[in-house]
Structure 1
Amino acid sequence: MKNFSEIINQSKPTLVDFFAEWCGPCKMMSPILEEVKDELGDSANIIKIDVDKNQEMARDFQIMGVPTLILFKNGEKLWSHSGLLQKQDLVEIIKKHS
């Protein structure tokens, strides 16, 4: 697998889901992200980062709550959101930055 910086430095958008196993809203976000991936296919990457297993990364990106979604393209942070989002909202945000 490519490392994190290689993935977020790609020219296609990468949505990073910072989550925790114990987080109820994170569990609700998971199937939504699956649907987004199904709709967008290879036009975007979606990766999940467990904040409990990657505490340093969570600190680096100043993750204060989960789920937190951050959209990257060419290594640049384009958008972020904490909390749940609906599938269509996410699809529109990602497409806008494609």
Structure 2
Amino acid sequence: MMDPVLAQLEETYGSQIKFAKLNVDNNQELAMTYKVMSIPSLVLFKDGKAIEKVTGLYPKDKLATYLDKKLASQ
């Protein structure tokens, strides 16, 4: 579902943001650690710590705006 959007965002932000995917069915303990209760969920990390979680389907433009704000606040 989100794969094409995340692939496009990775092309745009690849030098600033690292994108990774996790199959929560195969990694339930990790999903519980980060309170992933529904998919898709995006967990944002900074300096190795989870700082925010976004749940739900979002269009590329909306996620790009969100990421731009996060990068600007660094």
Which runs of no fewer than 5 residues in structure 1 stay unpaired? Answer: 1-27
Q: What letter is aligned with 1:90?
A: L
Q: Could you state the TM-score of these two structures normalised by the residue count of structure 2?
A: 0.83
Which runs of no fewer than 5 residues in structure 2 stay unpaired? Answer: none
Are 2:10 and 1:37 equivalent residues in the alignment? Answer: yes
Aligned length in residues: 71
Are 2:26 and 1:53 equivalent residues in the alignment? Answer: yes
Which digits, 9 at most, give the CA deviation of each residue in 1:7-43, with x for residues without a partner?
A: xxxxxxxxxxxxxxxxxxxxx2110101111111211
Match of 1:91 in 2: 64
Match of 1:82 among 52, 55, 60: 55
> Mean Cα displacement is larger for which, 35-44 or 86-95?
86-95
Quick one: structure 1 residues 78 and 89, their matched pair in 2 at CA, closer, same or farther if it must change by over 3 Å? Answer: farther
Are 2:70 and 1:70 equivalent residues in the alignment? Answer: no
Contact 1:71 1:94 in 2 (8 A): no
What is the RMSD computed on CA atoms of the aligned residues? 1.3
Find runs of 4+ consecutive structure 1 residues off by over 3 angstroms: none
> Alignment identity in percent?
34
